[in-house]
Structure 1
Amino acid sequence: MPNLAFIYGKRFQSYFIELQRYMQFIISGHIAVVLLFVIGAAGYSYSQWLQNPPEDFPAFLVAAVALTLVVVPNRPALLLKQADHYFFLPMEQQMQTYLRPALRWSELIVVVRSLVVMVVTIPLLTRVGGLSSSMVIGLAVVVTILAIWNVRSKFYAFWAHDQVSVFDFVIRLGILFGTFYFFLSSNWIVTGLLGVIAGVYYFFMLTKSLAPFPFDRMIDMEQQRMQRFYQFANYFTEVPHVRSKVSRRAWLNGLLSKGNMHQFLIVRSFVRKDELFYMWLRLAILLVLVPFLSFSYVVAGLLVVFSFAIAIQTHQGLLFNQIFRMDMLYPRPEVSKQQVVMKLARLVSYAPLGLGAVVASLFHQPVLILVAVVAAVASIEWYFVRKKKQPD
């Protein structure tokens, strides 16, 4: 009879090696320098803002939201594989031997991540919110307990139901946010009541998970978790494990014109391809949010960097990716495809850049923002001119 704890240990070693393999491309030399610069600039802006914060700033509310957002979305890392449905089935009664170290590792990651965010919010809570040292220590204990509770509750919810429902997400979100906020506000009655609700909900899900272990659901959950990492790593290097996922997004049909069928198919490919569309959406949101940073030169630099990243990722994702695209059904020369892709890449790059520049001009020097826009446009056009001369 195989030792399931030993099997998990071997898988954890392979998993860690896999992460290291791709992290060396994600955190490469030049990216590490950029991250160091951005983190340093953000820390400097944060410290400068703390010198003279706005009156009646909702420090407890902001800290509660930040802690909730970092705790609530985490899924347990079970490291299950497709063949485990058959390999582990005869040993189903011993699955707890495998699951215990998996859940402990998942809890440790969430706890560390949550405590890092808590440490970042401590200057805000102490200087602006007036939180005492004893309350900071108590907050660390609450964050640790709720991070573990969230991982366990989500795991048992997956065990008990075909999928984690919106109801489960809302319950966990409400308990996490309410507990963090009312604890910081020293409202002990509501905090205690939410603690009781959290305990009752945990044991309710625990009793619901007495059914046979759902291998199919847990394996699918683990594969989805790894696919998100592979899709992120695919932005930096070629990842053979990544699988393209498409969504219909019929609500965008009215915005797409079928006058030029070739152009329609390429735009539709961009809209339906999840990793490409969500990449653009994330960067576009960042372009609109970075103007709220207080350090003007960092804002100007990020406008250029994010705009250039959108152009490169959109162009390469639609033109050089070997995954099937709908425009392949339309017999047009490759030069024509490249022209349509460049037109689309310009549109999805300049639109959020323009919106971000307008927002940035309200908080920073308009001349500096104008220089950043010109630099962004120049870098994007330089890239397209270079690719036009070297279409391969």
Structure 2
Amino acid sequence: MFNAHNLFMERFRAFVKDTSRYLQYVFNGHTAIAILFLISATAYYYQQFLSDLPSNFPSIWVIAFFFSLVITYSPVHTLLKKADVMFLLPAEQKMRRYFFNTLILSYFMQLYLVVLTLAVFAPLYQASFGTYSGYFFYAVVLLLLKAWNLMANWWILKIRNKNSRRFDYMCRFALQFALFYFFINDSPVFAGVTTILLFIIFLYAYYLSSQQKAIAWDVLVEKDRTRMRSFYRLVNMFTDVPHLKAVVKKRHWLVNLLTKSLSFDTKNTYDFLYRMTLVRSGDYLGMYVRLVLIGMIAIYYIPQQAISVIIGILFLYLVGIQLMTIWHHHRTILWIDIYPISITIRQQAVLKLLQLLLFIQTLLYSGVFFIQHNLFGGLIMVASGVLSTVFWLHGYVKKKLA
């Protein structure tokens, strides 16, 4: 006999097992140290910013915006699979307990976002208003509205029209932004009117849902598949994810740029292969560009020269660690193993590619110092970046590849 609760528990255990297995690769020793350093540096400069907070800083707008964003974003994790569209459709009337459990799961899974947002903006609130009075009230409102938004998202998922769902999301976001603005600005009348309008939006979403007798199974499955694909793409920056289908992009001009200098020689076989992999794979190039840009922004806005250089070296390390996985990219392709070419040449090709990319990254980071007319800082960045890259590649990476 079909039991919706047992089905949910089975899916939930599989979900926890799958995500925890991949998360341990994301938060390994190397990454955890880097993340801890970045969090510490961000907290330090955040405190410095708050100590010199301008009197005209729009604290209310910033807090209201992020409060509204974190509660409006309330996806429902249904844990459904593609085959469920066919096999669970006959049992739709018995799935109420299953979907109720998924709503509870979704709420508790997203509580960390609410807690994190409250923790991040509490110092800004205190620095702006000189007290934490009322902040506990906002925390309660956030928790309540988070539950209401989760229900509204569930109701509106019965609507297949994307524009209708998007319009509902935008209306809720705008009204909740206004609600928190009026709360913080101590305007109870306007806050009351906004609350009534928001409640009407929730009722309208429920009304639309009640008009749709059937569940939009394909919409739920696609939403869950998209969320899991985003998670797998994040994890794929740290380790190989079999669930993630490889995406190949042409990028002819970039391929020509990186390979035209290579002669048609046996010793360049793997140089050509890994440069093509870097450019045409849907993972490595995008990750490289994103991390390089984030590092450049961090270096530009951090005033202390020594900290900026350390941040630059840290991002060199992060890029190198994640690009090392290119060595395993073709491990399932057997014909590579029958190449009459020494594995040493293959190792050297990976090392040369990593060295080229990290040297380019070093030059870009030093360029940020030069733009700021800090010649000495730029030279230190070049020297420290080159030295750390050489020692890291020919020490740690070379041993790992062997």
Q: Scaled by the length of structure 2, what TM-score is found?
A: 0.76
Residue 7 of structure 1: CA displacement?
Answer: 1.8
Residue 179 of structure 1: CA displacement?
Answer: 3.2
Residue 100 of structure 1: CA displacement?
Answer: 1.0
Q: 1:243, 1:260 → 2: CA distance?
A: 26
Residue 4 of structure 1: CA displacement?
Answer: 0.7
Counterpart mapping for 1:75-154 below 5 A: 75-127=75-127, 129-130=128-129, 132-154=131-153
Residue 116 of structure 1: CA displacement?
Answer: 2.0
Q: 1:275, 1:364 → 2: CA distance?
A: 35
Q: Which moved more, 1:134-143 or 1:60-69?
A: 60-69
Counterpart mapping for 1:174-185 below 5 A: 174-185=174-185
What does residue 290 of structure 2 align with?
282
Residue 336 of structure 1: CA displacement?
Answer: 11
Q: Secondary structure at the match of 1:160?
A: coil
Amino acid at match of 1:282: R
What does residue 329 of structure 2 align with?
321
Q: 1:12, 1:335 → 2: CA distance?
A: 45
Q: 2:252, 2:279 → 1: CA distance?
A: 10
Q: Which moved more, 1:268-277 or 1:2-11?
A: 268-277
Q: Which moved more, 1:211-220 or 1:274-283?
A: 274-283
Structure 1 residues 245 and 99, CA gap change in structure 2 (3 angstroms): farther
Amino acid at match of 1:228: S
Q: Does 1:310 align with 2:319?
A: yes
Q: Which moved more, 1:77-86 or 1:282-291?
A: 282-291
Larger radius of gyration: 2
Structure 1 residues 242 and 168, CA gap change in structure 2 (3 angstroms): same
Does the 8 Å contact 1:304/1:373 carry over to 2?
Answer: no
What does residue 383 of structure 2 align with?
374
Q: Does 1:242 align with 2:244?
A: yes
What does residue 60 of structure 2 align with?
60
Q: Structure 1, residues 116-162: CA drift from partner, whole Å, max 9, x if none?
A: 221221111112x2064342022112222332333333333333125
Structure 1 residues 348 and 26, CA gap change in structure 2 (3 angstroms): same
Structure 1 residues 62 and 388, CA gap change in structure 2 (3 angstroms): same
Q: Structure 1, residues 66-116: CA drift from partner, whole Å, max 9, x if none?
A: 434544445221111233223321221122211111111212222332122
The Cα RMSD (Å) is: 4.1
Structure 1 residues 324 and 16, CA gap change in structure 2 (3 angstroms): closer
Residue 277 of structure 1: CA displacement?
Answer: 4.4
Amino acid at match of 2:86: Y
Q: Which moved more, 1:349-358 or 1:234-243?
A: 349-358
Residue 286 of structure 1: CA displacement?
Answer: 1.9
Residue 15 of structure 1: CA displacement?
Answer: 1.8
Does the 8 Å contact 1:247/1:273 carry over to 2?
Answer: yes
The runs of 5 or more residues in structure 1 that have no matched partner are: none
Q: 1:57, 1:32 → 2: CA distance?
A: 33
Q: Structure 1, residues 151-206: CA drift from partner, whole Å, max 9, x if none?
A: 33333333312547654453344334333334322344443444334323333333
Q: Decide which of 224, 229, 232 is 2:231's aligned counterpart.
A: 229
Q: 1:17, 1:308 → 2: CA distance?
A: 29
Q: How many residues align?
A: 383
Does the 8 Å contact 1:111/1:148 carry over to 2?
Answer: no
Does the 8 Å contact 1:303/1:373 carry over to 2?
Answer: no
Q: 1:116, 1:305 → 2: CA distance?
A: 25
Q: 1:197, 1:350 → 2: CA distance?
A: 56
Residue 9 of structure 1: CA displacement?
Answer: 2.1
What does residue 160 of structure 1 align with?
159
Q: Secondary structure at the match of 1:170?
A: helix
Does the 8 Å contact 2:362/2:386 carry over to 1?
Answer: no
Structure 1 residues 375 and 258, CA gap change in structure 2 (3 angstroms): closer
Structure 1 residues 246 and 220, CA gap change in structure 2 (3 angstroms): farther
Q: Secondary structure at the match of 1:303?
A: helix
What does residue 49 of structure 2 align with?
49
Q: Which moved more, 1:350-359 or 1:54-63?
A: 350-359
Q: Which moved more, 1:215-224 or 1:352-361?
A: 352-361
Q: 2:243, 2:215 → 1: CA distance?
A: 27
Amino acid at match of 1:207: Y
Q: Structure 1, residues 248-306: CA drift from partner, whole Å, max 9, x if none?
A: 8xxx8888868967999988865664443442343234213323346655443222122
Does the 8 Å contact 1:71/1:114 carry over to 2?
Answer: yes
Amino acid at match of 1:290: A
The runs of 5 or more residues in structure 2 that have no matched partner are: 263-270
Q: Structure 1, residues 27-83: CA drift from partner, whole Å, max 9, x if none?
A: 223433443343334333333433333332222233334434544445221111233
Structure 1 residues 364 and 224, CA gap change in structure 2 (3 angstroms): farther
Amino acid at match of 2:237: Y
Amino acid at match of 1:103: L
Q: 1:223, 1:20 → 2: CA distance?
A: 18
% identity of equivalent residues: 25
Q: Secondary structure at the match of 2:242?
A: coil
Amino acid at match of 1:217: V
